[in-house]
Every structure is written in C-alpha cells, then in structure tokens.
Structure 1
Amino acid sequence: MPAVTVDNILALPRIPLPDATAVARPVKTVTTAPTGFEGEGFPVRRAFAGIDLSSLDPFIHMDQMGEVNYAPGEPKGTPWHPHRGFETVTYMIDGIMEHKDSHGGGGTIGGGDTQWMTAGAGILHIEAPPEHLVMSGGLFHGVQLWVNLPRANKLATPRYQDITGNKVALLSSSDGGALVRVIAGEVAGHQGPGSTYTPIALTHITVAPGAALSLPWNPEFNALAYVLAGSGTVGGGGSVGSASIGSASAGRPIRMGQTALFGRGDVIDLAADSRGESMEIFVLGGKPIREPVAMAGPFVMNTKSEVVQAFEDYQAGRLGAPTE
C-alpha cells in the first residue's frame, strides 16, 4: 500500500503530544462495511453502511474500492453518469484511474493522488482504468467519498481539483511511529491542499505495528475512522495525560473493513496491533451542515422536488453531454 511515503519519517514536522487537559474522543460505534459492486462491476466495501446520516454530516457516502488484483482484461470502471449537489473525492492508493467530465475537467490519478470533483449545479463524468492497465491487469485500491454541499453552494459552478501526492502535507507522530497524510483541511496546524466548500479534514494515516498516535482534532468537527488494512484499537476516554498516549487498553478493537464513529473531544487515539502489518486508516471529519438531505441515486439535494428537478434536467441534457 504505497500511497505517499518518505525515506526518513523523523525529518517530517512532528505532531505534538496533547496536553494533560485534552480529552480523548470516545468511540460511539464500530460498524463493519458490507461488500458490493459498483459501476461496471468493481468490488467495493460500503464504509458508512449502518451509520445514521445525521452522524455522518457533512459526509454522505464512502466506498473502499478494492483492494483487488485484476487479471489481464479484468479492470473495470464506471460509464458516464450524472451528479448534482455534492462533491466526489477519489483517493487512489494503488493502481491508476482516468477521469473525464462534461465540464472539461479530468486527468489521470495514481498512488497517493486525489481527484476532487465538485458536481455543484450538475455534471456528467466517467471513471475508468487506462487501456494499458486493462490489457495488463494489476493492483487496484482506493477510496471514494461523497461530501455534501451547503444549500448556498448546491448549484455552484462545477470544478475539478487534481491533487497529486507530492502536494499532500506529511506529518510524523512524536516518536516517528505514524505517518499522517493531510489531504484536505487543517491538522495540528498543517494545511492539506484540497479546497473545500464545507469545513472538513481528510487524512490517510499509517501506524506502524505496536505504534500509537494521538491526533489533534477540531472539536467542532465530527470524526470517523475507516481501517483500510491491518488492525488495532481506536478511541479512549477522559483526559489524555502524557503517560496514557495511545493506550491500547482504553481503545476499542478495530480491523480492516470497519468504521469507528467517535464522540466529542480534542484528540483521536489510534494504536496498531504489535503483530502483523501496519494499520492503514482513513480519518475524516467535518463541521455538520445541519440541513435537510433529500437524495436519490446520483443526486443529493435539500428537498424531494429538487431531486425530481435534477432527474428532469439530466434527462433533458441540461447537465452536460459525454465527451470523446
């Protein structure tokens, strides 16, 4: 799972240890993602299945795409399809994906890259592996997240952000046991490259076997953590004194394919099991929008009538047209 790594993690900016008054966020639930298929048939895990939408706010949906090792001729993508009223964030860990949209955006993303598409008023797009990857096969692994847009930005002009892996902010835990990649938002005073309408933070964290991390987190944000690989514990309780940083005994067990929903607090405690592989974990959160959500298929609006209008606009060709 390469994504973005460094030769010397100790040369990176360090995340400071929390002070004695910091409160570790408790774990409210741990859920297991069911498996399914998306697009033309690539396997996914539905990371947010079973979690109430109000607890996810401002997020709507998240899939772990793969991890799958395709044989030649097997790689699959999605056909042209519409979106309105939210943003799609595609983060590639392994493999390559090509994107194209009807507003002129698009590009190719690989390990550690992020494609951030604001559908806004409406857009058509397509996601597919490049032809050479279809011919050769290979490893494919990534995450796609849907971020809701506030009412005032539902009909924003569509835009596309191509965030290459070398733009991501890289941080180290105080002892070098964890690598934190900040894709968007601010973590421990360091800003990720992604530009967002909704205040959020997105991180991909690698915690080495037996290592732990207390991650400072905006107390106004909710917090979720999805395990991409490995296992360990998450969460804590009460004040975080320096002697209890990352205390595994206080955490909830978690493994690949599970999502933790956290309660309120100042820091998120993560610890990897001492045996086996590193724990790869996608930690995200944001400031809730607290607006009504009406969604159907590829549209996320505030009212049912707005969703109906979106379908009518799509059928009438008002969301754009596929391009060559």
Structure 2
Amino acid sequence: MEAQPILVDGRQHDLGDGFVVRRLLPVLQARHVGPFVFYDHMGPASFAPGKGIDVRPHPHIGLATVTWLFDGAIRHRDSLGSLADIRPGEVNWMTSGRGIVHSERTPPDERRDGHALHGVQIWVALPQADAEIAPEFHHHDADQLPLIAFEGASLVLVAGTAYGKRSPVKIFAPMFLIQAHLRAGAVLEWPVEHTERGLHVVEGNVQWEGLDIGPARMAVQAGANASPLKAVSDARVILFGGAPLDGERHLWWNFVASSRERIEEAKRDWAGGRFPRVPGDEEEFIPLPER
C-alpha cells in the first residue's frame, strides 16, 4: 500500500511592489523530494512601468537551478558570460557545481512597459559525485521539450524522464519535472519509474488519495506505488520527484553541500571576493548574510 501524501502549505514572503513568493520546500514535513531541495512559487504579480525584479549577483554551489515561468520574463546573467531572457515555456537550467554567480532582473522592455510575473524557481541537489563539477548554463526553447497527451491532460516534460519520454535538459540523477494542464474530471497516473513525488497545484483544484489540494499548495509522497490524481476543476499543476538523494544535504543561504565544512568554505570564498564576477552586471552583489 502506498503511503499517504503529506500536504504542504509553505511560507509566504512579500518582497515589495506586490511581489509575493511562497516557499514550499524545504519545510518541516519535507526537506527534499527526490533531488529537489528548494521550491519557490513566485507571484502572480503585476509590475507597474519602471518596476521589476532585481536579484543582484549571488553565488551557488552543489546544485542546479531551474526557472519555469507561467507569465512574464526574467533576464539571466552568470559568471560564465551567459545572457538569456526566459519566457513561458522555456527552460533556464544552471548547474553550479563547484561555484557560479548569477543575477536575475526584469528585461528592459518589460521594465519600461510594465508586466506580469508568475512562475517557479527550483533547486535540484547534485549527486555527491558531481557536486564539484565545472559550472554550466543551458537555455532550452519551448519547441525542444517533449509534449505528452492523455485523455483530458496536456503535459510538458521540462526535465528528466516520464511516460517513456526524455527531456533534452542535462540532469545528473533520476528525476522528473512536468507541467500539466488538466481538464475537470481528468485522471492522471504518476510516472512509474520514480519513487518520490510531489504535486504543486498552481491553479484549480486536484484530489490525490483523499486530499483536496487547492491553488499554491503542494503535496508530497514517497513509495513504490502512487494513486492517480483527479482534477476537480480545470487545473495547472507541476509534478516533480525522482530517486531518493544519496545522503542528506545542508542548505545555507544559496549553498547546498553534503558537509558543513564545504558550506563554510563557500562562505569564506564569497566574503573574500574569490567567486568570479558576472560580465555585464559587475557593479552590484548581495553580501554574505550575517545569519
């Protein structure tokens, strides 16, 4: 018998200008789901002309970040020299490995005109064997991602493997990340090859193993078997998960590592200016937090 899914509400933070972020992972009930160790639901928000987001250059180690937007645009720059504007249906996948620095800002046209922003930002822990690899950045257009159709359901395989398909996004451990649009009454089975799974309901209402899950909420479960999802209304959901992590991870600020010593080393390197700079965004940075 499969385990009962656990409902996750997360914690909401208002970042100003009407921009609200809900942190859904990690929480007490779920530190990680497969390799997914961090999950933020951004917005929906509407920025007036002249306003936008400005996430100044900051470092990462030991993880891959993925941005997936439902609305709006974000400009990514990093210390490899990458420059990419991401829009709905596209993927920005950044592998930090031993260390990378990046910034995220509203592109000039959207800042000038005003725009909406809605999406998710996720961290995937790298396997211990790959934690210190060279950093990489890859952008994938919407037409590169596999589309999957079931009765009443339209899916995009953002990363990993599911339902006999494989995304072109470079990953390092068994996992899946899917956007699904479900019509009311649709029933969707889970990918069978993965033993840890999570559901984020972006819009609409979904039932899973007796749980009623509404907008901006999450449910997670581990086990070899999983009951299908049923859409109570038309819904947009994110499905994610994979194989269990190869050991616990420490998360501190923007760093993920298997040891506290590696976190302390990264803190010293950022405070000492030993991370590379971001070409085109060299003037600002986020200082190391005191806590």
Normalising by structure 2, report the TM-score: 0.90
| Residue 108 (structure 2) aligned to one of 82, 106, 131 | 131
Distance in 2 between the 1:279 and 1:81 partners? 35
| CA apart distance, 1:268 | 5.0
Which residue is equivalent to 1:248?
none
Pairs within 5 Å for 1:106-145: 106-145=83-122
Which residue is equivalent to 1:151?
128
Q: Which amino acid aligns with 1:194?
A: V
Maintained 8 Å contact 2:250/2:258: yes
Distance in 1 between the 2:246 and 2:28 partners? 16
Q: In structure 2, do the counterparts of structure 1 residues 55 and 304 end up closer, same or farther at CA, with 3 Å as the change threshold?
A: closer
Q: Which amino acid aligns with 1:211?
A: A
Q: In structure 2, do the counterparts of structure 1 residues 314 and 112 end up closer, same or farther at CA, with 3 Å as the change threshold?
A: same
Moved over 6 A (4+): none
Maintained 8 Å contact 1:94/1:142: yes
Distance in 2 between the 1:180 and 1:57 partners? 20
> Is residue 134 of structure 2 the alignment partner of residue 178 of structure 1?
no
Distance in 2 between the 1:27 and 1:74 partners? 43
> Is residue 201 of structure 2 the alignment partner of residue 224 of structure 1?
no
| Residue 263 (structure 1) aligned to one of 212, 219, 222 | 222
Maintained 8 Å contact 1:204/1:280: yes
Q: Which amino acid aligns with 1:204?
A: Q
Structure 2: gaps (5+ residues): 281-291
Pairs within 5 Å for 1:29-68: 29-37=6-14, 42-53=19-30, 55-68=32-45
| Residue 104 (structure 1) aligned to one of 81, 86, 89 | 81
Q: Which moved more, 1:287-296 or 1:189-198?
A: 287-296
| Residue 213 (structure 1) aligned to one of 151, 165, 188 | 188
Maintained 8 Å contact 2:201/2:215: yes
| CA apart distance, 1:295 | 2.2
Q: Which moved more, 1:120-129 or 1:54-63?
A: 54-63
Which residue is equivalent to 2:287?
none
Which residue is equivalent to 1:5?
none
Please state whether the residue corresponding to 1:285 is helix, strand or coil. strand
Q: In structure 2, do the counterparts of structure 1 residues 293 and 40 end up closer, same or farther at CA, with 3 Å as the change threshold?
A: farther
Alpha-carbon RMSD across the aligned residues, in angstroms, is 2.0
> Is residue 4 of structure 2 the alignment partner of residue 27 of structure 1?
yes
Please state whether the residue corresponding to 1:47 is helix, strand or coil. strand
Q: Identity of aligned pairs, percent?
A: 28
Distance in 2 between the 1:223 and 1:263 partners? 6
Which residue is equivalent to 1:300?
256
Q: In structure 2, do the counterparts of structure 1 residues 37 and 102 end up closer, same or farther at CA, with 3 Å as the change threshold?
A: farther
Distance in 2 between the 1:205 and 1:222 partners? 18
> Is residue 208 of structure 2 the alignment partner of residue 234 of structure 1?
yes
| CA apart distance, 1:265 | 3.4
Instruction: Note the alpha carbon deviations across 1:28-78, whole angstroms, 9 max, x for none.
Output: 211212211459984211122534455524221100111112221222131
Structure 1: gaps (5+ residues): 1-22, 236-250
Distance in 1 between the 2:141 and 2:227 partners? 26
Maintained 8 Å contact 2:161/2:174: no
Q: In structure 2, do the counterparts of structure 1 residues 39 and 309 end up closer, same or farther at CA, with 3 Å as the change threshold?
A: farther
Distance in 2 between the 1:296 and 1:31 partners? 21
Distance in 2 between the 1:151 and 1:52 partners? 24
Aligned residues: 280
Q: Which amino acid aligns with 1:126?
A: S
Distance in 2 between the 1:38 and 1:167 partners? 33
